[in-house]
Amino acid sequence: MEIYKADVVIVGGGGAGLRAAIAVAEADPLLRIALVSKVYPMRSHTVAAEGGSAGVKQASDSLEYHFNDTVHGGDWLCEQDVVEYFVAHCTEELTQLEHWGCPWSRTPDGHVNVRAFGGMKIERTWFAADKTGFHMLHTLFQTSIKYPSIKRFDEHFCVDLIVEDGRVQGVVAIEIASGEFTLVEARSVVIATGGAGRVFRENTNGGVVTGDGMALAYRHGVPLRDMEFVQYHPTCMPGTGLLFTEACRGEGGFLVNKDGYRYLQDYGLGPAEPTPRNKAMELGPRDRLSQAFWYEQQKGRTIEGPHGSVVHLDLRHLGEKKLRERLPQIYELAEQFMGVDPAHAPIPVRPAVHYTMGGILVDGRCAAPLPGLFAAGECSSVGIHGANRLGSNSLSELLVFGKVAGVEAARHARAVAAGDSTRLLKQAQAVEQRVVGLKTKSGGSERIATLRKEMAQTMEDGCGIYRLAETMQTTCDKLDELKDRFRNVNLEDKSSVWNTEWLLAIELEYQLDVAQSMACSAINRRESRGAHQRLDGFEQRDDVNFLAHSQAHYVAGGPPRIDYGPVRITKSQPGTRAYGAAGEKAEQERKASNV
């Protein structure tokens, strides 16, 4: 086994991991940083984010507005002190990225331009055409090359955390090209491995988005918080689930049903106007739009396609010139993958799983309850998204909390002494033996792909846009069965070099744990809030019993134990969550009652 002695190890080379690495390097150039990523950093799924990144920019905007949009959008299940910190640091971080070279789209006078996004009162979404995540990721990756203290372990697959003396002290990773194991010793560990959307069938996520870091922390006793809240993005490609950014609607696109009718006006989002009005109609939040799709489908007002029911995303009135300038990637996706020219025909779309609101429980400084462990980005639950994330808050989250995680990890690494290397190695060897055992065992009969497909289907069936106790229970039972069958998994490939079948098996095991935390958290939440909507007698939000964060605790060999933690309310008392004209009325009433 190779041994590398670092001070801080970061698992995950996407936006949050890279930002954390740079923060450590800037906090103390003497700290040795190991950046462990199962893909080359620029392949990480941050790359696929399209629409933009939120930060107050205009004189007509305010931190208070961004705070209110985020907390209301999250159906009040947000840590309000953390949201306050977040909104106060978005713009600074986006400006930092500008200084590092990010090609933000500009106004004619050379300032960074902003666009409208769902659930946001004022235009505050910074964008680089419709490839914002791509540009942010490449800017961060390329900038990280400046810092000699960042040692990258590209294409190294993390298989476990090393916990010794009650604190985390390193990770074990497989070098994919050789199949060899490396122990990376470190006094701080930052997890930045992204979400887990691939546990669902139809999703916008890349193949790498398998919840690895969530499962690792969870198995070491760190609770996964608010895992029942999984975001369906309303406008995705039927079948593949590929994303058509919310910016399509930010730029003025319409959603229409089979009659060409802008159906969102029937779901409390109207009035329908010819140009986009913020926080109304197509610029409502994602949970509400996906739910409206579901109802349209029930009413038979959607269009039947080869991959299920669809509605139409109509961009024709924006014209080819604007589409090519503002939404070039969307244009090409529609043309190349669907044979649709969006300047001349509407794009068939349907909701697909997009984002994991919950994640590894951390405090506002990104610290998990396990000493030495930090988490940032989609894998974490720092508390800003609540029950429904607003579009363009997650890219800003990567920056703001990636930096916080890096700074805190550096501080922690300086404050504690190195552990006993002999004992760390002994643990790492045990990990190696266990992980190699999965590959070398014989006699199994289950195919990885079959188990994965059944998992993804049962998650869609039980934990979709609307949920029922009975189907959620079926999903929980099915996941038990799949975990059982996983023990009988068969690997055809016993070799060492680039054995991706082995890695897929390890990922599937991560996914099954994360899926179980989602389904069990969902069935226990007997109310409807944000992205968690029930149709079995719990249709209303229940602040008396469920204004609380769920916490799933790992239990070996069985379903997780679920308990609840408090929600920090500082200045926004839970109220009616409304959009469109109803939202404006509610806001006026709130203002009047405060006077």
Partner 1 sequence: MSDMQKTIEIEVLRYHPEKDKEPHRQVFEVPFTDDMSVLQGVQYIKDYLDGSLSFRWSCRMAICGSCGMMINGIPNLSCQTFLRDYYPARVRVEALAHFPIERDLVINMEGFIEKLESIQPYIIPKEERTLAQGEYLQTPEQLNAYEQFSSCINCLLCYAACPQFGLNSSFIGPAATALLHRYNVDSRDGGKAERMELINSEEGVFNCTAVGYCSEVCPKHVDPANAVNQNKTNSAADYFLRFLAPKGGAK
Residues in the chain: 595
Q: Among 32, 65, 103, 543, which residue sits at the site for partner 1 (rule: CB under 8 A)? A: 103
488 is a site residue for partner 1 (CB under 8 A)? no
Least distance (Å) between residue 144 CB and partner 1: 9
Q: Among 240, 474, 524, 572, which residue sits at the site for partner 1 (rule: CB under 8 A)? A: 240
Q: In the stretch 325-354, what mask flags binding to partner 1 with x, by CB under 8 A?
A: ----x--xx--xx-----------------
304 is a site residue for partner 1 (CB under 8 A)? no
| SS3 category, 224 | strand
**375 vs 12: CA distance, rounded Å:** 10
Least distance (Å) between residue 592 CB and partner 1: 36
* Residue 249 known to be catalytic: yes
Residue 174 contacts residue 157 (beta carbons within 8 Å): yes
Least distance (Å) between residue 12 CB and partner 1: 14
Q: Among 62, 65, 167, 206, which residue sits at the site for partner 1 (rule: CB under 8 A)? A: 206
92 is a site residue for partner 1 (CB under 8 A)? yes
72 is a site residue for partner 1 (CB under 8 A)? no
- Which stretch, 203-211, 248-256, 480-488, 554-562, contacts partner 1 (CB under 8 A)? 203-211
Q: Which tokens go with 413? A: 């690494």
Beta bridge partners of 303: 310
β-strand pairing of 180-185 with 167-175: antiparallel
Least distance (Å) between residue 473 CB and partner 1: 29
**423 vs 271: CA distance, rounded Å:** 65
Helix, strand, coil content of the chain in percent (nearest 5): 40, 20, 40
492 is a site residue for partner 1 (CB under 8 A)? yes
Beta bridge partners of 396: none
Interior/surface letters 253-269, b for 16+ CB within 10 angstroms, e for the rest = bbbbbbeebbbbbbbbb
Q: Among 42, 120, 158, 159, which residue sits at the site for partner 1 (rule: CB under 8 A)? A: 42
| SS3 category, 456 | helix
Least distance (Å) between residue 498 CB and partner 1: 4
Question: Going by C-beta distance under 8 Å and a sequence separation of 6 or more, which residues neighbour residue 442?
Answer: none
Residue 380 contacts residue 401 (beta carbons within 8 Å): yes
**523 vs 530: CA distance, rounded Å:** 15
109 is a site residue for partner 1 (CB under 8 A)? yes
Q: Which of 45, 124, 233, 549 is catalytic?
A: 233
Q: In the stretch 249-288, what mask flags binding to partner 1 with x, by CB under 8 A?
A: ----------------------------------------
Beta bridge partners of 203: 353
* Residue 553 known to be catalytic: no
154 is a site residue for partner 1 (CB under 8 A)? yes
**401 vs 408: CA distance, rounded Å:** 10
Q: Which tokens go with 442? A: 């014989």
Least distance (Å) between residue 271 CB and partner 1: 34
| Nearest alpha-carbon partner for 498 in 18, 147, 70, 155 | 155
Q: Among 1, 497, 535, 555, which residue sits at the site for partner 1 (rule: CB under 8 A)? A: 497
- Which stretch, 66-74, 272-280, 428-436, 489-497, contacts partner 1 (CB under 8 A)? 489-497
> What is the number of other CB atoms lying within 10 angstroms of the CB of residue 383?
25
Site residues, partner 1 (CB under 8 A): 39-40, 42-45, 47-48, 92, 95-96, 98-101, 103-112, 131, 134-135, 138, 142-143, 145-146, 154, 177, 206-208, 239-240, 242-243, 306, 329, 332-333, 336-337, 447-449, 491-493, 495-501
